[in-house]
Amino acid sequence: MVAIVTDPAIDPGAIWRPLPEAYRQPGMSPTQIILHTIVGSAEGAFSFFRDRSDLESTYIVPFLGPRWQLIPLDHSADANRKANRRPDGTGAVSIETEDMGAATVERTPWTTHQVDEIVGACVYVCRTYSIPPRLCRTPSDPGIGYHTLFGAPSDWTPVAKSCPGAARKAQVPEIIERVRLELAGPATPPETGVQPMKVIRHTTGEVMLYDGVLRVPLNYGPTHTDNLERINTYAFLCGGITDMSDAAAPAGETSAEAIRRRKLSADLLTTTRVAR
Ligand SMILES: [Zn+2]
């Protein structure tokens, strides 16, 4: 007979990619979860943690595939200053998340997939360590927070920063509510029927994904080039690839001018089908 031993400090929903120091980090009793954004790629952050720094986070959530776990949940990860491990032995599990880099970090929301993975991690950690699914009310209050919840610098960061960026901060209440509902009872049965349009909300506007075709409101960004860039970004975030380039576009051309020049539909910039 083979005995399968499970360690509750290893999330069964994650890919286990331990850092060399995973079990050398001090023991810690998790009472908080703190959300971050990487300002770069998931693999880049992983190799930075592994090869070039003494820093680490407990999780990394990439754009594609399951979340990675780098440190056991009951060992401290050096990402949250005083919340790494407090004198009473409690501390924070940290979740790093892949983004599109510094240029767009304030306006890149977590993808639907990333939100699902963050919620999955939070549900597992909250259930395993009896952490309440609520926003932390103070820097040592049990719950879920994000890196700059109490400002920057603060007890959670020694430097000025805006991690995880405006667009992702705006998603935190929705994430906590989903964690709360999942912990409260069985999941509600999936809705039947067709959901024809999925609207992805954004702090400065909306992008609509409809049956694989992205449509961006005309007034979404200040210039045509800006909108093309956003379409490409959102196609990528939706799990697809498109290359909307327009070499003939004069610099600074507005969306309305581009629509007239290219004789496109009146109110929306629309991609060709997004390859998935
Ligand atoms: Zn951070």
Distance (Å, rounded) from C-alpha 233 to C-alpha 235? 6
Q: Is the pLDDT of residue 271 over 60?
A: no
Centroid of ligand 1 to alpha carbon of 177 (angstroms):
21
Query: Could you give the residue range(s) of every CATH 3.40.80.10 domain in the chain?
Result: 3-184
Q: How far apart are CA 173 and CA 250, in angstroms?
A: 41
* Mean of the per-residue pLDDT values of the chain: 83
Amino acid code (one letter) for 135: L
Alpha-carbon distance 113 to 187, whole Å?
A: 18
Task: Output the CA 163–ligand 1 centroid distance in Å.
Answer: 5
Query: Looking at residues 60-89, what average pLDDT do you find?
Result: 95
Q: Ligand 1 is a single-atom ion; what residues have CB below 5 A from it?
A: 36, 147, 163
Beta carbons within 8 Å of 174's beta carbon, 6+ residues apart: 115
Name the one residue in this structure whose structure tokens are 């880049």: 44
d(CA 151, CA 160): 8
Residue range 3-184 in CATH 3.40.80.10 = yes
The Å distance, Cα 74 to ligand 1 centre, comes to 20
What tens digit of pLDDT does each residue of 63-77 get? 999 999 999 999 999
| Gap from CA of 26 to ligand 1 centroid (Å) | 20
Taking only the tens place, the pLDDT of each residue in 124-183 is: 999 999 999 999 999 999 999 999 999 999 999 999 999 999 999 999 999 999 999 999
Mean pLDDT of 185-197: 53
Q: What is the pLDDT of residues 140-154, one digit of tens each?
A: 999 999 999 999 999
CB atoms within 10 A of CB 158: 11
Q: What are the structure tokens assigned to 51, written together?
A: 């090869």
Structure confidence at residue 9 (pLDDT): 94
Q: How far is the CA of 93 from the centre of ligand 1 (A)?
A: 12
pLDDT at residue 8 in the model = 92
Q: Which residue has the tokens 């595939």?
A: 65
Q: Which residue type is seen at 41?
A: S
C-alpha–C-alpha distance, residues 123 and 87, integer Å? 26
